[in-house]
């Protein structure tokens, strides 16, 4: 792959944001400029058609033409049919193009009803390109609709969202994209003393608007300069790690991305014995599940065998081809690390000058001390008092001998 460590000095909010979503995607797209087959997701397709329809609504309004709700619906459907092709990809399982077509119809109908007769603001421009200069960098962007509010004469930056999720208001209050555009608008118009950013979440028929203060605009300016600095350092260092997330489903670089490429190469690199990489993983996972089930079943049968021998006073049981020998042993266990009794035992051994002999409470050394050292009975009993007797069983199998 031809790596060109240079980056176009022109930025956009989505370009900056893409680095912070996934540095590797940023590298593929803007540094290496990898040419891949790009696909358009149905969500983006729907967004474009809805934007075009609202653009028509306001563009016609500027010429004093008020479209009816049904005019808009027809326009939307025409645009959909003209532009739709089989290349539009539907990622979400269980949905078809008609679901998305209907979603767009609803968004437009709800917006129309809520905002008719569209007199709360005067449209200045639609799809307005802005170009902001920040610390020697250029940031370009497009405002869906720039308007002036009838009530307080604030400049309004309207953004139409067709996303199926509604961000918390705190996220919108901190949003940097529209604040950047607000900075650009302040530079464009001397009378832009008040600037409001407005989101229309069409899927929820909700509108959120916030005035942006001078301090907020200054903060976003500093934040963008800092982010661009981070990106330019990464470009210099060649430091672009993948950041896998839900966004991967819409990433056009999955086939070359180290996180996802196995999904595409597995079919071509079949293992001779078990098949593709995917099949290997599935087989291994299945065997692990079976192994767990077999271990559990073996424990149950072993317990039943021990129980059977115990009830019948037997030490071995003969099967068809094997003999199972069940032996019982008694052992004294001392408190383990973390057990409250353990500290007490350690203190006692130190007090009895036995600590060095048991080498930091090695239980084997402790047993040896109890067995081999001539201890005062009181001391020995006290130490034994910390122990508890446990019975354990051993089950061993051997093949039956001929004639047995």
- Interface with ligand SF4 by CB under 6 A: which residues? 22, 24-25, 242-244, 247-248, 251, 253-254, 257, 259-260
The nearer residue to ligand SF4, 11 or 253, going by C-beta atoms, is 253
> What percentage of the chain's residues is helix, strand, coil (to nearest 5)?
50, 20, 30
DSSP annotation of 125 reads E
Residue with Cβ nearer ligand SF4 (171 or 246): 246
- Least Å from the CB of residue 176 to ligand SF4: 20
Report the C-alpha gap between 4 and 66 in whole angstroms: 51
Closest approach, Cβ 38 to ligand SF4, in A, equals: 13
For the CB of residue 201, give the shortest distance to ligand SF4 in the complex, in Å: 25
Q: What are residue 41's DSSP bridge partners?
A: 89
Q: Concatenated DSSP letters for 353-392?
A: T-TTTTTTT-HHHHHHHHHHS---HHHHHHHHHH-EEEEE
Check: CB of residue 158 under 8 Å from CB of residue 144.
yes
Q: Which of 188, 244, 182, 191 is nearest to 214 (CA)?
A: 182
253-263 exposure pattern, b = at least 16 Cβ within 10 A, e = fewer: bbeebeebeee
Q: Which is nearer to ligand SF4, 25 or 197 (CB)?
A: 25
Long-range contacts of 76-84 (CB under 8 A, 24+ apart): 76/49, 76/50, 76/52, 76/104, 76/105, 76/108, 77/101, 77/105, 79/49, 79/52, 79/53, 80/49, 80/104, 83/45, 83/48, 83/49, 84/45
Q: CB of 243: closest distance to ligand SF4 in angstroms? A: 6
Of residues 239 and 318, the one with the C-beta less far from ligand SF4: 239
Minimum CB separation from ligand SF4 for residue 159, in Å? 24
Q: Please report how close the Cβ of residue 33 comes to ligand SF4 at its closest, in angstroms.
A: 14
Say whether 221 sits in a helix, a strand or coil: helix
Q: Indicate the pairing of strand 195-201 with strand 155-161.
A: parallel
Of 24 and 231, nearer to ligand SF4 (C-beta) is 24
Comparing CB distances to ligand SF4, the nearer of 29 and 212 is 29
Place of tokens 């006073």: 313
Cβ distance to ligand SF4 smaller for residue 9 or 238: 238
Cβ at position 242, least distance to ligand SF4 in Å: 4
What is the closest distance, in whole angstroms, from the C-beta atom of residue 260 to ligand SF4 in the complex?
A: 5
Instruction: List Cα–Cα distances, 203 to 12, 47, 104, 120, 174, in angstroms.
Output: 26, 11, 9, 21, 21
Nearest distance from C-beta of residue 277 to ligand SF4, angstroms: 17
Contact 397, 323 (CB under 8 A): yes
CA atoms 216, 220, 221, 223: torsion sign: positive
């Amino acid at each position: 792959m031809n790596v060109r460590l240079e980056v176009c000095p022109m930025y956009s909010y989505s370009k900056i944001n893409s680095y912070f979503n996934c540095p590797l995607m940023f590298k593929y797209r803007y540094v290496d400029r990898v040419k891949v087959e790009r696909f358009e997701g149905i969500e983006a397709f729907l967004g474009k058609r809805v934007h075009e329809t609202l653009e028509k609504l306001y563009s016609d309004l500027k010429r004093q033409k008020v479209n009816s709700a049904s005019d808009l619906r027809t326009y939307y459907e025409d645009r959909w049919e003209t532009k739709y092709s089989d290349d539009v990809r539907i990622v979400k399982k269980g949905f078809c193009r008609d679901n998305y077509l209907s979603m767009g119809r609803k968004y437009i109908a709800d917006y129309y009803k809520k905002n008719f007769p569209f007199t709360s603001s005067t449209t200045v421009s639609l799809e307005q390109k802005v170009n902001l200069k920040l610390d020697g960098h250029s940031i370009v962007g497009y405002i869906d609709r720039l308007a002036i509010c009838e009530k307080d004469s604030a400049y309004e930056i309207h953004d139409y969202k067709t996303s199926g999720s509604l961000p918390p208001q705190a996220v919108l209050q901190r949003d940097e994209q529209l604040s950047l555009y607000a900075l650009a608008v302040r530079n464009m118009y001397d009378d832009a003393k008040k600037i409001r950013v407005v989101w229309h979440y069409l899927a929820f028929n909700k509108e959120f608007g916030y005035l942006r203060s001078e301090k907020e605009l200054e903060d976003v300016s500093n934040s963008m300069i800092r982010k661009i600095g981070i990106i330019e350092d990464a470009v210099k260092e060649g430091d672009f790690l993948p950041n896998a997330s839900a966004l991967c489903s819409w990433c056009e670089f999955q086939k070359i991305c180290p996180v996802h490429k196995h999904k595409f190469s597995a079919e071509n690199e079949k293992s001779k014995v078990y098949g593709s990489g995917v099949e290997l993983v599935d087989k291994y996972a299945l065997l692990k599940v079976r192994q767990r089930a077999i271990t559990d079943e073996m424990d149950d049968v072993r317990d039943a065998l021990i129980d059977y021998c115990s009830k019948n006073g037997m030490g071995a049981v003969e099967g068809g081809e094997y003999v199972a020998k069940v032996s019982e042993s008694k052992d004294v266990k001392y408190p383990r690390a973390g057990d409250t009794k353990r500290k007490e035992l350690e203190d006692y051994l130190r007090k009895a000058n036995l600590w060095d002999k048991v080498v930091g409470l090695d239980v084997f050394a402790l047993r040896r001390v109890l067995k081999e050292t001539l201890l005062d009975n009181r001391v020995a009993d006290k130490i034994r008092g910390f122990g508890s007797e446990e019975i354990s069983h051993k089950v061993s199998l051997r093949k039956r001998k001929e004639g047995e």
